[in-house]
Each structure stands twice: as C-alpha cells, then as structure tokens.
Amino acid sequence: MTWSDILALAANPLPSVLDKVTKSLEEWRAALSPEVFQVTRQKSTERPFSSAMCHAHAPGFYACACCGSSLFASQAKFDSGTGWPSFTEPLRLDGVTYHVDHSYGMQRVEVCCSRCDAHLGHVFPDGPKPSRLRFCINALALVKASGEDHVNQQEKRPKQEMG
Ligand code: FE
C-alpha cells in the first residue's frame, strides 16, 4: 500500500463488506464518554502524548472505540514520536475509509472507520519504509483487543447488538 493507493481510495472508496453501524449523533453521545464522542463523532484531536497507547507494543489488535471493528494490528504499530498511536497500514483494506480534509487551511487525508464512520485520525506520506505511510490515530478512537482478531468475534455477535 502506497500514498497513491490512499489517494485513489479517497477518490473511489471500496464497497465495505462489513455490516454498517448507524446511530444518530444523540445516540452516539449517549453511548460514548464525552472525550471519545468529541474525537470520533466531532473530529476533534486529542492532546499529543495524552495516552500510554503511543508506547504500547504488546501483540494484539486495535479496534474502533465506537463499533468494535478491528482496525489495526500491533505488528503495524511504530513509535513515530508524534504523541499519537501510529501505524504503517490498516488491518484490512476495507476496514477504514479515506477523505481528503481541507480543514485548518491544510490538505490532509482523514481516516475513518468504514463500519460506523468514526473519525480516527489522519494518514501522512512520511512514515517508515516500505509503505512510507503514517496512520496518525487518536488513542481515544481505539480500544486494544488482545490476541484474537476481533473481526471474527463481531461476525458472531447477534444483529441487535450492532445498533
Ligand atoms: Fe467504528
């Protein structure tokens, strides 16, 4: 996966095979802590170095704090020194969506959960080799899931729990 792949996916998103989770803003507000709501549903950015997750490298998966979809694996995690959890690639190609973001006078690529549209963070073309990608993700948008891939557990979950 390269930067040009990211731009191509921003222009032409993949159809997601995941069951969509759709809630109103008020339902999300009721379901999430105020901090998680602000980051994931209002596209706010947490303060850098505000989470111990930046330096955590134990094996496992990182799932969406809103819907539990598995988004990143510990194998792709690296210490970027930025103060936000950083990854070189997503766990699965259709797990996240990309949106060109022109806010704050910058051109950035926003990364969202493709299952519930949570704002996760941004991706930049200045990461380590070989992908050169740096997924800069808010720790508040992630929950750590140990060992087993969380995607498989979700698929077993009954429909009504998916919101
Ligand atoms: Fe999600």
Q: Can you tell me which residue has the tokens 């899931």?
A: 145
Domain 3-48+60-162 has CATH 3.40.50.1470: no
How do residues 10-40 score in pLDDT, each as one tens digit? 999 988 777 899 999 999 999 999 999 999 9
In single-letter form, the type of residue at position 124 comes to F
Q: Which residue has the tokens 């919101």?
A: 163
Q: What's the CA-to-centroid distance between 104 and ligand 1, angstroms?
A: 25
Catalytic residue among 67, 112, 116, 136: 136
Q: 């493709």: which residue's tokens?
A: 114
Backbone angles phi, psi at 97, to 5 degrees: -120, 160
Annotated active-site residue 66? The verdict is no
Q: Which residue has the higher pLDDT, 145 or 149?
A: 145
pTM of the predicted model as reported, rounded to 2 decimal places: 0.87
What spacing in Å lies between the alpha carbon of 139 and ligand 1's midpoint?
Answer: 14
Tell me the domain boundaries of the chain.
3-48+60-162
